[in-house]
């Protein structure tokens, strides 16, 4: 079944949802809705996103009708903000498990991988009103049937259908994913959420290179803490706490 306003709104009712055949970025539309008072759990879904954003000004690439592109509006307690990226990646992993997908993992902090290739990215964005948290927009792009062959991403990206070898319905994935987001949202701040996220990380134990406060740190990804920071141990056994960034993986250390 294709994604249309009628099919999406009917499948998700009574959850508040907005569907667009084409949009610049679901995160931008959801941020605007949040600022206008959208309820917790509201969701923006599109068939085609033409100005998808990644982190640090990067681009998220999605041809029409080939991906699940959504932004969920959440109203967590500010104390739980560090777990929002974990929540998104975990919910996607659980959805993939439910499809019997094998070799699902998380590359710190927010990439969901299948067979070591990126199947999904998560982009949480936070809206404040002065010192008060208005809410969070959790943007997720999930590759369902994008053909990456011959593109720059061919060696780094993968789609659900090519990994599974069978077709899937985006509407079924959407409903399942939203239930899993609700589940993990109700576990924000718990050890269960943190431990499940940590268990999925492929990064731990690997040699990594990461930029921290303008300097490149090389070492072994030693652990993560409950705020989601990566702890990297360098060759002098000094621990570096990396809150956000991009890691390059070296050989297993
Ligand atoms: C992310 O950024 O992984 C977060 C992507 C979030 C996208 C969603 S879609 C719905 C919502 N609305 C938005 O506007 N954004 C969110 P980052 O870690 O910076 O990764 C970006 C990099 O991933 C790019 O520079 C490419 O190398 C690669 N990339 C781009 N498109 C991809 C795709 N479809 N599959 C796999 N990798 C991709």
Please name which of 248, 199, 246 lies closest in space to residue 224, comparing C-alpha atoms: 199
Confidence of residue 249 (pLDDT cuts 50, 70, 90): low
Q: Is the pLDDT of residue 72 over 90?
A: yes
Q: How far is the CA of 88 from the centre of ligand 1 (A)?
A: 14
Collapsed DSSP state (helix, strand, coil) of residue 66: coil
Residue 253 pLDDT grade (very low, low, confident, very high; cuts 50, 70, 90): very low
The ligand 1 atom at the shortest distance from the C-alpha of residue 139 is 11
Whether ligand 1 lies within 6 angstroms of the CB of 53 is answered as yes
Distance CA 172, CA 193 (A): 24
Sign of CA dihedral 63, 172, 54, 249: negative
pLDDT of res. 250:
56
Tell me the per-residue pLDDT of 172-205, one tens digit each, with 9 for 90 and over. Answer: 999 999 999 999 999 999 999 999 999 999 888 8
Tokens of 15: 């959850």
| Interval 125-138 mean pLDDT | 95
| pLDDT of 251 above 50 | no
Query: What are the strands, taking DSSP E only, across the chain?
Result: 17-23, 43-49, 52-53, 59-60, 67-74, 104-107, 111-114, 117-129, 132-143, 206-212, 215-224, 230-233, 239-242, 247-252
With 0-12 / 13-18 / 19 or more C-beta atoms within 10 angstroms meaning exposed / middle / buried, residue 242 is buried
**Ligand 1 contacts CB of residue 60 (under 6 A):** yes
Residue percentage of the chain with pLDDT more than 70:
96
8 A C-beta contact, residue 44 and residue 18: yes
Q: Mark out the alpha helices in 104-169 (DSSP H runs).
A: 160-164
Phi, psi of 84 (to 5 degrees): -70, -40
Task: Using alpha carbons, list the distances in angstroms from residue 3 to 43, 91, 201, 253.
Answer: 14, 21, 32, 45
Residue of the CA atom closest to atom 16 of ligand 1: 139
Distance 225 CA to ligand 1 centre (A): 24
83 C-beta closer than 6 A to ligand 1: no
CB count, 10 Å around CB of 148? 18
β-pair partners for 141: 69, 121
User: Residue 38: CA atoms inside 13 Å, Cβ hemisphere, count?
Assistant: 25
- Of 121, 125, 155, best ligand 1 pocket probe by most atoms within 8 Å of the beta carbon: 121
- CA 59 / ligand 1 centre spacing (Å): 6
pLDDT band at 106 (very low <50, low <70, confident <90, very high): very high
153 lines ligand 1 (CB under 6 A): yes
pTM for the whole structure: 0.94
Taking Cα atoms as reference points, which of 202, 205, 181 lies closest to residue 193? 181
């Amino acid at each position: 079944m294709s994604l249309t306003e009628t099919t999406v709104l009917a499948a998700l009712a009574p959850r508040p949802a907005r569907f667009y055949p084409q949009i610049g970025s679901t995160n931008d539309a959801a941020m605007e809705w949040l600022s206008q008072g959208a309820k917790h759990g509201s969701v923006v879904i599109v068939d085609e996103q033409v100005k998808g954003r990644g982190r640090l000004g990067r681009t998220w690439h999605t041809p029409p009708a080939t991906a699940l592109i959504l932004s969920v509006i959440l109203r967590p307690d500010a104390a739980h903000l560090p777990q929002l990226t974990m929540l998104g990646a975990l919910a996607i992993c659980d959805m993939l498990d439910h499809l019997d997908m094998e070799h699902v993992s998380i590359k710190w902090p927010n990439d969901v991988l299948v067979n070591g290739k990126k199947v999904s990215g998560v982009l949480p964005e936070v809206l404040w009103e002065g010192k008060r948290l208005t809410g969070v927009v959790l943007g997720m792009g999930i590759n369902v049937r994008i053909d990456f062959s011959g593109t720059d991403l061919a060696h780094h990206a993968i789609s659900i259908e090519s990994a599974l070898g069978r077709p899937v319905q985006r509407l079924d994935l959407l409903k399942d994913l939203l239930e899993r987001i609700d589940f993990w949202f109700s576990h924000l701040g718990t050890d269960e959420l943190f431990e499940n996220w940590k268990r999925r990380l492929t990064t731990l134990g690997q040699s990594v290179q990461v930029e921290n406060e303008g300097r490149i740190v090389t070492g072994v990804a030693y652990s993560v803490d409950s705020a989601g920071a990566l702890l990297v141990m360098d060759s002098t056994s000094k621990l570096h706490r990396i809150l956000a960034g991009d890691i390059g993986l070296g050989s297993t250390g």
